[in-house]
């Protein structure tokens, strides 16, 4: 799609990840115009394979917006999870503990494919492959985004009323907030995840989280034919050091319990190592710029909160913008940061808690390891503790 010179929009959205795409759809439902600028190609954003666990309310939202048909056909609906430690398994029935709520395993790139297709079908404007994106004049009543529509093309500008920075941790939006006006909180964990995709049938109907003396492991799924699995490793390690045989050997050791259950192997067709961190930027607004999703916060994947937090951000933002355009009230826009950050910090706490409880920190003492095991033991034998975990895992209420 080519954007003609002189075009103006109400909301310029930087980034076509989950936050930007959901925001565009939510604004469209309120009659608010937007243009999405994305530096990657459509093939790149739809082909970057990332896992996804959707909270109960996010699935309801997608269905309410008419975006959930393929999700409901192909998603995997999980009513619980299994925790393994000390070579014993403990099932947590989240649905029973939360009045029927559940999570849905549906990969993030599949969500993106659905949102892009629906956006283009609606006639929405997404500019893929733009470059040199620059956010300007955010302190003024007429902000703008500068960009090139092609690598050799001239710099162009998109004037707008507001800018939504949904461009991830490394994008330009957060950096446009003056350093003196923002505070960034961050933890870098001393371990990472080695993740694989394997052609194999499911080994277990739901996710298994394992705390093992050799480190954490996670059994997940992507489809009836493809499974996703992770093991804790040194984030500085070279993936070349990990043969398929070594990976499967570690997965068997860390995931199998004393029940006779065994992991099903299959050909590995993708593997890589990612670092782990927690990050929050405050505030999430400066002038007419609002940041959302990974531009504003990062959570370790243990708690499965990243995509869900992004959707929560833009749902709050879309409601605030709808009120502004319909009544002139800026109360929702003024309260955007406080509303979002209250939820974000709860999700950060939950993700940090799950991560520290289930992983083996290379620098922790034997005393600390025993504390983590005691915490797990308390969790699986206390209905109140299980209910608290389930409540957070399926998603805190949005209202």
Question: Which pTM value belongs to this model?
Answer: 0.95
- Residue 111 has a pLDDT of 96
Distance separating alpha carbons of residues 37 and 10, to the nearest angstrom:
14
The fraction of the chain above a pLDDT of 90, given in percent, is 91
Q: How confident is the model at residue 363 (pLDDT cuts 50, 70, 90)?
A: confident
For residue 192, how many C-alpha atoms fall within 13 Å in the half-sphere facing its CB?
12
Please answer whether residues 12 and 24 qualify as being in contact, where contact means their C-beta atoms are separated by less than 8 angstroms. Answer: no
Catalytic: 271?
A: no
Is the alpha carbon torsion for 322, 328, 332, 334 positive or negative? Answer: positive
pLDDT at 1 over 70: no
pLDDT digits (tens, 9 = 90+) for 166-181: 999 999 999 999 999 9
* Averaged pLDDT, 139-166: 94
Q: Kindly report the number of other CB atoms within 10 A of residue 44's CB atom.
A: 13
Annotated catalytic residue within 76, 305, 359, 372: 305
Q: How confident is the model at residue 50 (pLDDT cuts 50, 70, 90)?
A: confident
Annotated catalytic residue within 301, 324, 336, 359: 301
Peptide bond into 283 cis (omega under 30): yes
pLDDT digits (tens, 9 = 90+) for 365-390: 999 999 999 999 999 999 999 999 99
| C-alpha pair distances (Å), 257 with each of 86, 195, 253 | 8, 21, 9
Catalytic: 305?
A: yes
- Residue 89 has a pLDDT of 95
The fraction of the chain above a pLDDT of 70, given in percent, is 99
pLDDT digits (tens, 9 = 90+) for 7-47: 899 999 999 999 999 999 999 999 999 999 999 999 999 98
pLDDT digits (tens, 9 = 90+) for 287-299: 999 999 999 999 9
- Residue 2 has a pLDDT of 66
Q: Kindly report the number of other CB atoms within 10 A of residue 186's CB atom.
A: 10
pLDDT at 399 over 80: no
User: Residue 112 is encoded by which pair of tokens?
Assistant: 């993106």
* Averaged pLDDT, 58-70: 96
Distance separating alpha carbons of residues 65 and 262, to the nearest angstrom:
41
Distance separating alpha carbons of residues 137 and 145, to the nearest angstrom:
9
Catalytic: 78?
A: yes
Annotated catalytic residue within 189, 209, 230, 336: 209
- Residue 362 has a pLDDT of 87
- Residue 343 has a pLDDT of 97
Three-class SS state of 272 = strand
Annotated catalytic residue within 78, 101, 286, 372: 78
Alpha-carbon torsion angle 325, 331, 337, 343, nearest 10:
-100
User: Residue 168 is encoded by which pair of tokens?
Assistant: 């991830």
- Residue 221 has a pLDDT of 82
Report all structural domains of the chain as residue ranges with CATH numbers, in order of start: 9-52+108-187+278-350 (3.50.50.60), 78-101+189-275+364-394 (3.30.9.10)
Distance separating alpha carbons of residues 271 and 193, to the nearest angstrom:
10
- Residue 7 has a pLDDT of 87
* Averaged pLDDT, 189-207: 95
**Residue 280 pairs with which residues in a beta bridge?**
185, 297
* Averaged pLDDT, 130-149: 95
- Residue 10 has a pLDDT of 98
User: Residue 245 is encoded by which pair of tokens?
Assistant: 């045989």
Task: Give the single-character DSSP code of 371.
Answer: H
pLDDT digits (tens, 9 = 90+) for 67-124: 999 999 999 999 999 999 999 999 999 999 999 999 999 999 999 999 999 999 999 9
User: Residue 376 is encoded by which pair of tokens?
Assistant: 């797990």
């Amino acid at each position: 799609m080519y954007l003609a010179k002189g075009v103006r929009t109400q909301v310029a959205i930087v980034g076509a990840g989950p936050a930007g795409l959901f925001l565009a759809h939510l604004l469209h439902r309120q009659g608010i115009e937007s243009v999405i600028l994305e530096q990657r190609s459509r093939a790149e954003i739809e082909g970057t394979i990332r896992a996804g666990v959707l909270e109960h309310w996010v699935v309801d939202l997608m269905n309410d917006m008419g975006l959930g048909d393929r999700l409901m056909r192909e998603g995997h609906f999980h009513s619980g999870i299994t925790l393994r430690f000390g070579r014993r398994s403990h099932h947590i029935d989240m649905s029973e503990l939360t009045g029927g709520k559940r999570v849905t395993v549906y990969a993030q790139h599949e969500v993106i494919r659905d949102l892009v297709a629906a956006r283009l079908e609606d006639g929405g404007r997404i500019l893929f492959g733009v470059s040199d994106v620059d956010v300007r004049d955010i302190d003024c009543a007429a902000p703008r985004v500068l960009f090139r529509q092609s690598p050799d093309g001239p710099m162009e500008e998109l004037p707008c009323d507001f800018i939504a920075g949904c461009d991830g941790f490394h994008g330009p939006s957060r950096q446009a907030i003056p350093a003196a006006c923002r505070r960034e909180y961050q933890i870098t964990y001393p371990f990472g995840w080695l993740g694989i995709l394997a052609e194999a049938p499911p080994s277990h109907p739901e996710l298994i989280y394992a705390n093992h003396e050799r480190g954490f492991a996670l059994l997940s799924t992507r489809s009836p034919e493809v499974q996703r699995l992770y093991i804790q490793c040194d984030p500085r390690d070279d993936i070349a050091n990990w043969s398929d045989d070594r990976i499967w050997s570690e997965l068997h050791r860390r995931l199998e319990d004393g029940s006779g259950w065994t992991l099903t192997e299959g050909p590995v067709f993708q593997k890589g190592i990612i670092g782990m961190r927690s990050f929050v930027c405050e505030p999430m607004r400066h002038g007419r710029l609002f940041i959302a999703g990974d531009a504003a916060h990062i959570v370790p994947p243990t708690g499965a909160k990243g995509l869900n937090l992004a959707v929560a951000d833009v749902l709050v933002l879309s409601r605030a913008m709808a009120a502004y355009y319909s009544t002139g009230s800026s109360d929702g826009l003024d309260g955007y940061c406080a509303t979002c950050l209250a939820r974000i910090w709860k999700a950060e706490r939950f993700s940090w808690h799950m991560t520290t409880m289930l992983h083996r920190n290379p620098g922790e003492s034997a005393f600390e390891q025993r504390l983590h095991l005691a915490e797990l033991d308390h969790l699986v034998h206390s209905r109140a503790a299980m209910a608290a975990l389930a409540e957070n895992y399926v998603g805190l209420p949005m209202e």
